[in-house]
Amino acid sequence: LKLFSFRKGLYKVINFTGLGAFTTPIFRYHTADTTESNFNDSVIGFGYHNSEYQIVISGFPFYYMEAEAAKKIFGNAKEFLEKKFPY
């Protein structure tokens, strides 16, 4: 499912459903207006971890973001990647 938001929001957003084992929702969609309100709280980015590696998947392009917003998102991803998971 792709969400298209133009009003000071993200553009070309992919919604992830049915996340499997070892995944953690990291980024959720929150609308600035009511145009896409039925997609509020949808997972648009997640982290995957196992005993060998950790990875963050983003369902949206960073190209359309303002620098400060992108820095905050990278900070959240970095926090996930540095987290120690029990196995």
pLDDT tens-digit map of 50-82:
888 899 999 888 877 788 888 988 999 999 999
What burial letters (b/e) apply to 13-29, b meaning 16+ CB within 10 Å? Answer: bbebeeeeeebeebbeb
Report which of 32, 53, 56 is spatially closest to residue 45, judged by C-alpha positions. 56
Count of alpha carbons within 13 angstroms of residue 3, beta-carbon side: 25
The pLDDT-based confidence of 48 (bands split at 50, 70, 90) is very high
Percent of the chain with pLDDT over 70: 79
With a cut of 50, say whether residue 13 has pLDDT above it. Answer: yes
> Counting Cβ atoms within 10 Å, is residue 46 exposed (0-12), middle (13-18) or buried (19+)?
buried
Q: What pLDDT band is residue 30 in, cutting at 50, 70 and 90?
A: confident
CB of 10 closer than 8 Å to CB of 60: yes
